[in-house]
Structure formats: structure tokens, C-alpha cells
Amino acid sequence: MNNLKMSRREVLALGASSTAGAAASSLVAGNAVARTPAADHPKDPTALPPTTDLSLEINGRAVVLQVDNRTTLLDALREQLRLTGTKKGCDQGQCGACTVLLDGRRINSCLTLAVMHDGASVTTIEGLGTPERLHPLQAAFVKHDGFQCGYCTPGQICSAVGALDEIAGGMPSFAATDPAATPKLSAIEMRERMSGNLCRCGAYPNIIAAILDASEA
């Protein structure tokens, strides 16, 4: 029997050519034509994404914006209006760092498109108070040291404002279903109402103490 001697390079080249030949034969046998989506649907590189003009009231000020229809409310606030107090955390609605007040109700601004809210009123942390005249909740957070790194604090405060407004507006209290509970807002209820806002520093006891303090003011 003859010994067949081939170098490693020759073996690899032979294998590659065999694979390519088999693929070509398969396409011909099935009368198939290889196509790519890009070839079927060429894109105009100069085309701009669709935009919409919005009228919003941001922290009491009328604002007109032109936004890409894919822009979230969070990105419109941060990137176009430079209101960077509202933080981008998980960008998936899980951490609450982006909480703002939309027409008085707290929402995760990363989960909603800006174009959905033409004519709406938005309040961010910048609209709640000033260094010279803090909102009661801002003052309570300072008093009770309700923050460490501070990244989640704007969302925590906006969410707390919304939660207290919900209670004041008549939203049923969790304690109302417990005959043994006192009418006073409890730490347990406040923890539940604020459960959508995460603090990676673990300042929860001080955050809850600040909110309860502000609720009694």
C-alpha cells in the first residue's frame, strides 16, 4: 500500500475547498439563491430617523422639543434638557433611579417614550426645591442622612413625594385593612410603597425615617 504523505497546510487547504464545494452544490441542487436582508432592502445612509415636536411643561416652564420618536423621557430630560439630576440606573425600570413626577404621578422615565406625553407636566428633582429653599422631603433627607453616594436620591425623593401625594389624595392605606393598625403612617407601609426604589448603599432606615418625618410636617 502506498503511503500518502501530506503537510498540515495541504490538509487544511483540502478541507476548506471541500466544504466550500459542498455548500455550492447544495445551493445549486435546491435552486436556492443566497440573499441578505441588506441586499433586499438597501438603506439610505443619509435618511434621518422620524422626529416629533413636543410641548411639555418641565418644572413649571414651557418647553418645546424635537425628539427622535425612539427617545425615552429619561433621555430627553438628560440629553436634550440637561436635567441630569434624574439618573439613569438600570434603564429597565427595576431600580427607580429615574423616577420623576408626570402630571403629579410618579413614573420610571426610562420606560416611557417622550412622544407619548405631548402637553404633559413633568417635575424632576430640580423642580422640587432649591439649595436656598429645600422641599420638605429634601430637608428631611439631609436631616436624617438619607443618602450615601447620592445616586439614587433624586429618584427616592421624587418617588416619596408621589407616594405621600397618593396617600393625601385618598389612595387606600395598607394599614386600613388591619384593624389593629393605628391611623399613623407606618414604616412598614412606607417600605412597601417605596419598594420600587433601590439603594445600593443600603440607606433604607434613614430614607424611611426621612419620609415619615416629612409626612408629619
Q: 32-60, pLDDT tens digit by residue?
A: 445 555 555 566 777 778 999 999 999 99
Stated pTM of the model: 0.74
Distance, in Å, from the CA atom of 104 to the CA atom of 164, rounded to the nearest integer, reads 11
pLDDT digits (tens, 9 = 90+) for 54-104: 999 999 999 999 999 999 999 999 999 999 999 999 999 999 999 999 999
CATH of 46-127, one of 3.40.190.10, 3.30.70.330, 1.20.1250.20, 3.10.20.30: 3.10.20.30
Distance, in Å, from the CA atom of 35 to the CA atom of 16, rounded to the nearest integer, reads 22
Q: Pairing mode, if any, of strands 51-58 and 121-123? A: parallel
Average pLDDT over every residue of 176-192: 72
- What ranges do the domains of the chain cover? 46-127, 132-217
Which residues sit opposite 178 in a β-bridge?
none
From residue 62, give the alpha-carbon distance in Å to each of 58, 74, 122, 127.
6, 17, 10, 13
Distance, in Å, from the CA atom of 163 to the CA atom of 140, rounded to the nearest integer, reads 15
**Whole-number pLDDT of residue 32:** 47
CATH fold, domain 132-217, is: DNA polymerase; domain 1 (1.10.150)
Distance, in Å, from the CA atom of 208 to the CA atom of 187, rounded to the nearest integer, reads 6
Which triple of cell numbers denotes residue 204?
A: 433604607
Question: At 166, phi and psi to the nearest 5?
Answer: -60, -45
